[in-house]
Structure 1
């Protein structure tokens, strides 16, 4: 099970470390390893949320996420995205942006690749922060969620979810406060944040639309050896009750990749505090991204989300913390280890609460189902 799920990640790790050694010697090897560990430690909550969405998707779209989605995550977000940001903000062409990146200028050197990317951070943080904040708030205001973890907070907010626009109102209020009190250029931060909110609403809304129309609601055949199991789930983003195919599957695929991109903002930007070499950053963060995808598959195949009912809650609270931190970093530097540590604490808290719940109930849900069936 472990080798089947993580085999590709192990193989790519060896190739990536070898590439780092050939490209930058021992220093390159060590930097690739450090960045890989950084990406993995920052993204456990990402894997949990990805798994929650992935189990709704048909076998075809799951495979698309694990193949095409990997290319988007590794080459799109870890290599092309920083180049695009620098090119747009500095009014450079693609070739000029690549040449500037390969110069490996220091982050404190005006005009360098790392410096220009750091200058664009408020806009990136505003976009990603608003996208993640909407995901978190929609989770909190979900009136149909069967379980609550931090009950003193979650139950009142779930009741407040009867107001359909509650999450939008709170998110826009947060954006307005961040732009007013944290941004040097409030107008640009507001526009970027509103675009993040629009992106979330568009992809989420289209996903729900096609699912409600019953587009491609064929459940995967139980005889398929390769299919990842689909189980009934509660909503945390686009909702579904069956494996989504067709247009519904496409928008879930689009949604999970945009979500994955939003998670990667802090890791991509934080990597420049370790090295300014875009090749080393792409290698290190790319290896980490592969492990997150393998861990996502592992969670789905093992049915972990069903057995640990508060794991999703912990991941969602980690998302909320990341959204708030991204908005704060518009003007305040927050160390990536703090960001990853807070997220990890929430995830571990969700696991611990789930284990305690299972002990009270006589075991995980899957085991109780097997006992009752026998």
Structure 2
């Protein structure tokens, strides 16, 4: 399973490292390796969230995610995106911006850094909406019940996620966006506009995806009824094949926008290591390959079903990343800190899942049984609400 899922990533890593060593020497190889590790550490929570969406899609669209999706992630976000940002913000042509990135990397870095407030506001709002919609939804399984229970009750208010996100955006525009960078420039209007665009992007893409997800749930309920009828009549039941067609396309689009939002901090943080666009794209691209492979591995192994708090931990990490992105509009936060926050939250949720499974196994052995819909009866109250 590991070789089948990660084989392409390992092979392309070997090719990429060999190319880096040949083109840029040992120093270039070291830069590419560091950037690969940086991307993986910053985007592990992305893999967990992606897996929650990808498992609803059929095998064909899962392959599309691994092939076409990787090309978009590597060439689109890690190579073309920084050039496009410079072209837009500096009001120059894309070819001129690309030439600038190759011939004048220091000036190119300055222009990308100058665009950071808009990038952070857009990505921060998109990720914040993902977290808020998750935390305000009433779920059968709760990880941190003392937080999630009251928030689920508040979540019954219409458009609460949007209202909270807008409040965060307004506060950011009048605080961290007032004195940005060494020049102390006012980026309030830029942050407001970019944040609203990020919010709109989530509402449009997420709304369409959510519509098709609801259709899928209705279809699943219908399939369950048909399977019961088929079993009762002795006919062979027909299994569902997952999202396909338009539904899968919009889910795929949602995944790509989600990946773009996660990649913002990695692309910006990469400039602290190198100004060279090609080593940067190669290193971040290799990291993106492993994140994609990890997503598919989680789906094929059914990890999210076995470790039910992983999605919770990933969404908490998303919420933390959203706030960090907003703070970095004015203040610099080391990428190591950003990556560690995500790793710690996901690690804690994984350990809680292991404890839950262990307690359910003990309870089942005692004849009390534990349903897969919630934590076992002996789970500590500090960890779950059930």
Q: State the TM-score, normalizing by the size of structure 1.
A: 0.88
Per-residue CA deviation, residues 305-342 of structure 1 (Å, 9 max, x unaligned), is 00101111000000000000001111111111100000
Matched with 1:222 is none
Match of 2:381 in 1: none
**Counterparts in 2 of 1:273-352, with a 5 A limit?**
273-352=272-351
Q: Does 1:22 pair with 2:22?
A: yes
Structure 1 outlier segments of 4+, above 2 Å: 103-106, 208-219
1:26 and 1:104, CA in 2 relative to 1: closer, same or farther beyond 3 A? farther
Partner of 1:244: 243
Distance 1:214 1:44, change over 3 A: closer
* CA distance, structure 2, for counterparts of residue 216 and residue 357 of structure 1: 30
- The residue correspondences of 1:110-189 to structure 2 (distance < 5 A) are 112-143=107-138, 145-183=139-177, 184-189=186-191
Judging changes above 3 Å, is the alpha-carbon distance between structure 1 residues 214 and 35 closer, same or farther for their aligned structure 2 residues? closer
Measure, in 2, the Cα distance between the counterparts of 1:320 and 1:44. Answer: 14
1:228 matched residue in structure 2: none
Q: Is residue 353 of structure 2 the alignment partner of residue 354 of structure 1?
A: yes
CA drift of 1:248 comes to 1.0
Q: List runs of 5+ in structure 2 lacking aligned partners.
A: 178-185, 222-239, 365-369, 373-386
Rounded Cα–Cα distance in structure 1 between residues aligned with 2:275 and 2:204: 35
Distance 1:242 1:158 in 2: 32
1:196 aligns with 2:195: no
Q: How many residues align?
A: 343
Superposition deviation, residue 153 in structure 1: 1.1
- SS of the equivalent of 2:105 reads coil
Give the distance between the partners of 1:362 and 1:199, measured in 2 at CA.
Answer: 43
1:148 and 1:132 map into 2 onto residues whose CA distance is 21
How many angstroms does 1:363 deviate by? 7.5
The 3-state SS of whatever aligns with 2:140 is: coil
- Whether the aligned pair in 2 keeps the contact of 1:218 and 1:242 (CA below 8 Å) is no
Normalization by structure 2: what TM-score?
A: 0.85
> For residue 234 of structure 1, what is the aligned residue in structure 2?
none
Segments of 5+ residues of structure 1 without an aligned counterpart are: 107-111, 220-240
The alignment's C-alpha RMSD in Å is: 2.3
1:113-134 deviations in Å (ceiling 9; x for gaps): 0110001000000000000000
Question: Residue 79 of structure 2 contacts residue 281 of structure 2 at CA under 8 Å; is this kept in 1?
Answer: yes
